[in-house]
Structure 1
Amino acid sequence: MAKIKKGDLVQVITGRTQARGGDRGKQGRVLEVIVEKNRVVVEGVNFVTKHVRVGQTQRGTKTGGIETHEAPLHISNVALVDPESKKPTRVGHRVETNAAGKTVRVRFAKKSGKDL
């Protein structure tokens, strides 16, 4: 079972600090999970500039130029944010039975000694 899924709120835990122009400490929603490469795309984090060749659409408008968009981060560089404390946390799984009586695995945020 995946620890991080699309739509989760995550925080970048490695890299350069924001004071030095990096993304460490930034929080954002996961836009995409690339399972084969163990990478995630996070909204508003790890922007890269891409030069796109000039072209034309069917209507005749010009496309191209310099675009910025989010690049993938390795999944180990982000941590799931606890919805209660709004701090990064580790993820655990537990087995529960739902309303229909079916056994399912559920993710939950683990509490650290500081959060108790």
Structure 2
Amino acid sequence: MSTMKIKKGDMVKVIAGKDKDKEGKVIAVDQKAGKVLVEGVNMVTKHTKPSMTNQNGGIVHQEAYIDASNVMYLHKGAATRVGFKMDGDKKVRVAKSTGEVID
């Protein structure tokens, strides 16, 4: 897969699926699978066994990975596509709607 347009720490908006129109911060990115973990989105119920870290075990609610194609980068509160451009000898991300450099 080519370079990921979404990075850890970005604010994104979900554009497809059961959590459509929700917004959140990217917690983790799985480049190999092309998936992202977004705070408060795609919540799943997981039944855990008692362990050294979790003495009681029980039912845990946590985020699950969502495909990167189902999220859009938020730039100044509006969802926008992300492109790349060369800034001197450095490759930078650019918001397609405004043409501004993201990072």
For Structure 1 versus Structure 2, the TM-score category normalised by the shorter chain is 0.7 to 0.9
Offset, 1:52: 0.5
Equivalent runs, 1:20-39 vs 2, <5 Å: 23-39=19-35
- Counterpart-to-counterpart distance in 2, 1:68 and 1:25: 21
What residue identity is the alignment partner of 1:43? Answer: E
- Counterpart-to-counterpart distance in 1, 2:90 and 2:64: 33
What residue identity is the alignment partner of 1:94? Answer: K
Unaligned runs of 5+ in 1: 17-22, 98-102
What residue identity is the alignment partner of 2:90? Answer: V
1:67 paired residue number: 60
2:49 is aligned with 1:53: yes
1:105 paired residue number: 91
1:92 to 78, 83, 88: 83
Number of paired residues?
Answer: 96
What residue identity is the alignment partner of 1:92? Answer: G
1:76 paired residue number: 69
Query: TM-score under structure 1 normalisation?
Result: 0.76
1:9 paired residue number: 11
2:4/2:31 contact within 8 Å kept: no
Unaligned runs of 5+ in 2: 99-103
2:47/2:59 contact within 8 Å kept: yes
Say which one has the larger Rg.
1
Q: Provide the aligned C-alpha RMSD in A.
A: 1.8
2:40 is aligned with 1:44: yes
SS of 2:57's partner is strand
